[in-house]
Homo-oligomer: A and B are copies of this chain.
């Protein structure tokens, strides 16, 4: 893990920090055309297109009869899951639901003489959750995507996940889906799976919003279909940034950094500290832990690519660096973490204190683990209940309310050269209202 000293240099001039700051700005346009073609074909040909792509990419023969996962399969899955894991999944679902209940929003209105203005909150009717397939099983990801939708009041939550080579869907995912309240599950994935739930096909339902992580094809398909449906943030490789002072346990920090590095060769693991010896101690512990790690190869490459220890002037300078990086996960491993909260502007989730390791948040605490990556914490939020509702503005004026403001609306319509907009006001200003309609209204 390389050390970068920011004590003397201003960050604008530091190439390593700039490289990390701009990590999220890639635009894989080389896949654009093929993904657009997949989308067009699924839109035109529905099932037949989806099933032929499934055969081509996932090596599986799908039919309208077998594409949906059956209740029997789900019951079977429950038998395959170890008791302690089933218990953990239940606790996670309960805690995640409990936390997200606090994100529910109310409709609201305000009044003025002769006026009522507000917004009505309505849950989306349907939502689609993308769950990556293959060998890796991430029940926690199913929980974190499905529970907020159900808490929001979404009636139909549809999960899609590719069954690659075999029909079996990962049992942990099925159990998590069932316990999270997922309503329908389809064994289809990739850009063609995303397009299928965006438009709907003969055997796969259309949804209003698509959430969940996937490979570059899935990410591009979501991006291109934004507008046809709503989508969540564009997810990239996972990241952690740890702000540490001398009170931190170097071994604990090292393991937390590795818990990102083991995810992905492009994952980011950043240490920021004003204590040079803290940095050295963490790096020693990290090298030590790295040797014994099962996923050593991935973790090592990851640390090579995006593993950096930044030395800062003081703890506030450390917060500045964190804000520039805008990490997905930010651990504040310092004596007084709450004292720094006002200084931290950009982070997906902020883990305060020595015992709050990221894994707790990933699995069990309650806040969502679907978080903005690649620096997008500057403008994106964690996935939440607010992602599964929409607002409709409410406007009402009485005849009296109308009279108080009609003149200004008329003048602006005039200025914008929109005659009928102006007329709509004038006919109601009783200037040109025939007696008949006066009686009527």
Contact = CB atoms under 8 A, between A and B. Distances in A.
Nearest to A361: B395
Given A33-B32, A228-B24, A299-B420, A392 B125 contact: no
The complex is assembled from copies of this chain, and their number is 2
B395 A255 contact: no
A419 B349 contact: no
Given A234-B227, A341-B394, A412 B357 contact: no
Interface string A285-315: 0000100011100010000000000000000
Interface residues of A, number: 147
A136 interface: yes
A349 B392 CA distance: 5
Contacts of A29: 36, 39-40, 224
Given A89-B412, A360-B397, A441 B390 contact: no
Given A381-B390, A409-B363, A355 B252 contact: no
Interface of A: 24-25, 27, 29, 32-33, 36, 39-40, 43, 82, 84-85, 87-89, 91-92, 95, 99, 102-103, 108, 110, 115-117, 119-120, 122, 124-125, 136-140, 172, 199, 208-209, 223-230, 233-234, 247, 249-252, 255-256, 258-259, 261-263, 289, 293-295, 299, 337-338, 341, 344-368, 371-372, 374, 376-382, 384, 386, 390-399, 401-402, 405-409, 411-425, 427-428, 433-434, 437, 440-441
Given A91-B408, A139-B416, A362-B409, 16 more contacts: A27-B39, A33-B33, A85-B411, A87-B411, A88-B407, A88-B415, A99-B110, A209-B379, A227-B374, A229-B379, A230-B379, A295-B419, A351-B396, A359-B425, A360-B425, A365-B397
9 contacts: A29-B224, A82-B415, A88-B408, A120-B341, A230-B380, A252-B428, A356-B395, A356-B397, A382-B392
